[in-house]
Amino acid sequence: MSLLLWILAAVLTAGVVIPLAAVLAGPRRDGPGAAGGEAADGAVATAEVYRRQLADLKAEVAAGRLPAAAAVAEEAELSRRLLAAADPDDRPEDSVGGAPAPPPDRPARRLGLIVMGAVPAAALGLYLWLGSPGLPSEPFAQRDPALIEAQAVAVAAAEALAQRLATDGGSVADWMDLGSRWRTLGRTSQAVTALARAVGQSDGDPDALSAYGEALVDDAGGIVTEPAIETFQEVLDARPADPRARFYLALGRAQAGDRAAALGQWQALMRDTPADAPWLGLLIAHIRDTADALGQDPDEAVPDPAAPVGAAGPDAADMAAVSALPADQQAAMIEGMVSGLAARLAEAPGDVDGWLRLAQAYGVLGRRDDQFAALESARAAAPDDLRVLEAESAAHLADWGEAGPTETALRALDRLLQADPDNPLGLWQLAQLSEVAGAYDRAASIYARLLEVLPPDDANRAAVADRLATLEAVRDSGGAPDGADGGTGPQDAPAE
């Protein structure tokens, strides 16, 4: 509850209690205008009425309009009422105005003051005991009619999907989608049901099992139950590095009281978690809290994460930005980016994309030996990755001179064509190699094959067709066609 709400409640309570307390605690007024004075004035007026009635009665008798015998009883009754109204012995008088004094009421007023103080205090105590003063206020966004309408639409869409799946059975992806929708809407039991169907249809797919296990934890209010533990263990049996299963199994150990084991499992997961993983903050929080509960230093308990998967070295956009800098700053900026990427890759040698970016950067800097070394590292991490084989072969193609390709370039081309015999870049390089060797017929047949491989809308078809036409025109001349020196760069080579 916000401080402003507490202040408002206090002001409202004071606005009610203080006036009542002032009335009870203030002095009682006696005399004219007070309660006793008003009672005295009423008694005097009543007596005066009776006197006038007696005077009128006697006047009627004297005028002969009323027999004296008949007036005796009436006169006696009026006289009795007059005495009752005017007799001072029937009411005590105060010493000032002769008005009736109120009975003593100090204890009653004191009790009223106590009750008025006790009621707000008791209400506050009951709220602190039974209420939820720490519960945050409902965000204004959740009161937004547009958001409420959007949620209603989401519920309707989920219910429509559920009805369709109940009719046609759906696919694993459909049930996964439905489970995700119900989890987002907070309907955890329905999410569990949907994801259980996904697990059943997928024959224990790790992704479906992992999502199902997390839904079980949600449905249990964050408790890693025994069914959830069994589910996550199945995930690890199929995929030992699954981060979600590892996290929740460690959480289950912590909830079971084995905090030391949970801390060790979370620390191991931390070392395998990329620094840019979206769940990193949650993992660090659990490690720190558990270490603190065990009496350890939370800062020292958090190990360094793995290298970020999404950490990018200089790409085309980076190079374009660098080109806008003054010449004396460009080299320093590029070197800084390249050095940072190289240092990261030294700790994460399995990052194929990183090695390819590093090789590209080295190529821009003209550091050919470093470029080839980076490509070799990429190939060591992924020997059959066509992107690596193409990049390596293209880098060597750029170094072709009058003497033709080097032995290393030929090996790179051979690896590419071994992996993909119809690779467009490989066929282009092989045709160029045939031209350098003077085998124009072979080169023409390779260009013809390349035209069959390239899609009809490929931008490189025109260059290949022109090269083929040139070879066919000079095939009988005995001369070498123009452009047969192998000097085309990788940017001119057809790409997949």
CATH code: domain of residue 229: 1.25.40.10
Same domain? For 278 and 199 the reply is yes
Question: What domain count does the chain have?
Answer: 3
Helix or strand (DSSP H, E) at 210? helix 206-219
pLDDT at 138: 56
pLDDT of amino acid 293: 92
**Rounded Cα–Cα distance for residues 247 and 31 (Å):** 83
Output the CA torsion sign for 225, 226, 229, 230.
negative
Burial class, 424, CB count within 10 angstroms (exposed 0-12 / middle 13-18 / buried 19+): buried
pLDDT of residue 484: 46
- Structural contact between residues 302 and 284, judged by C-beta atoms closer than 8 angstroms: yes
Domain boundary among 301, 317, 349: 301
What is the reported pLDDT for 439?
82
Give yes or no: residues 367 and 411 share one domain.
Answer: no
- Answer yes or no: do 297 and 318 share one domain: no
What is the C-alpha R_g of the chain?
49
91 inside domain: no
Q: What is the pLDDT of residue 104?
A: 46
337 lies in the same domain as 478 = no
Rounded to whole angstroms, how far apart are CA atoms 458 and 466? 14
Q: Give me the amino acid identity at 320.
A: A
**What CATH number does the domain containing 454 carry?**
1.25.40
- Decide if 127 is inside a domain: no
258 and 205 within one domain:
yes
Tell me: the pLDDT tens digits for 317-339? Answer: 555 555 555 555 555 556 666 77
Which residues pair with residue 404 across a beta bridge?
401
Distances in whole angstroms, Cα of residue 153 to Cα of each of 138, 176, 178, 189, 460:
21, 19, 14, 20, 48
> What element of type H or E holds 11?
helix 3-25
Task: Supply the pLDDT for residue 107.
Answer: 66
- Residue 134, pLDDT score: 59
Evaluate whether residue 261 is within a structural domain: yes
Q: Are residue 290 and residue 315 in the same domain, yes or no?
A: no
The pLDDT value recorded for residue 391 is 86
Do both 368 and 494 map to the same domain?
A: no
Contacts of 349 (CB under 8 A, 6+ apart): 377, 380, 381
Per-residue pLDDT of the chain (496 residues), as tens digits, is 456 667 777 777 777 777 776 666 655 544 444 444 555 555 666 777 777 777 877 777 777 776 776 667 777 777 777 677 665 554 444 444 444 445 445 666 667 667 767 777 777 777 777 766 655 555 544 555 666 777 788 888 889 989 999 888 888 888 988 998 898 888 999 999 999 999 999 888 888 999 999 999 999 999 999 999 999 999 999 888 889 999 999 999 999 999 999 999 999 998 888 776 767 788 888 999 999 999 999 889 988 887 655 444 455 555 555 555 555 555 555 666 677 778 888 888 888 888 888 888 787 677 888 888 988 998 988 888 888 888 888 887 766 655 567 788 888 888 888 888 888 888 888 888 887 777 888 888 888 888 888 888 777 788 888 888 887 776 656 555 554 444 443 333 433 3
Q: What tokens were used for 205? A: 């797919």
Whether residue 180 is found in the same domain as residue 239: yes
- Nearest by Cα to 334 from 324, 348, 344: 324
Predicted TM-score (pTM) of the model is 0.41
Per-residue model confidence (pLDDT) at position 311:
46
334-343 own/partner pairs: CB under 8 Å, 24+ apart: 334/361, 334/364, 334/365, 335/365, 337/313, 337/361, 338/313, 338/314, 338/362, 338/365, 340/313, 341/311, 341/313, 341/314
Q: Can you give the residue range of the structural domain that contains 173? A: 148-301
Residue 422 sits in the same domain as residue 449? yes
Helices (H), ranges, 26-130? 35-62, 68-86, 106-130
Domain assignment present for residue 343? The answer is: yes
Using the 3D structure, point to which of 301, 329, 364 is the last residue of a domain.
Answer: 301
Residue closest to 234 by CA, chosen among 258, 213, 259? 213
Q: Are residues 228 and 351 in the same domain?
A: no
Neighbours of 77 (CB within 10 A): 12
Given this model, what pLDDT does residue 43 score? 62
- 237 and 211 fall within a common domain: yes
Q: Is 370 in the same domain as 426?
A: no
The pLDDT score that the predictor gives to residue 474 is 67
Token pair recorded at residue 467? 């090269």
Q: Which amino acid is at 375?
A: L
The pLDDT value recorded for residue 432 is: 80
pLDDT number for residue 227: 94
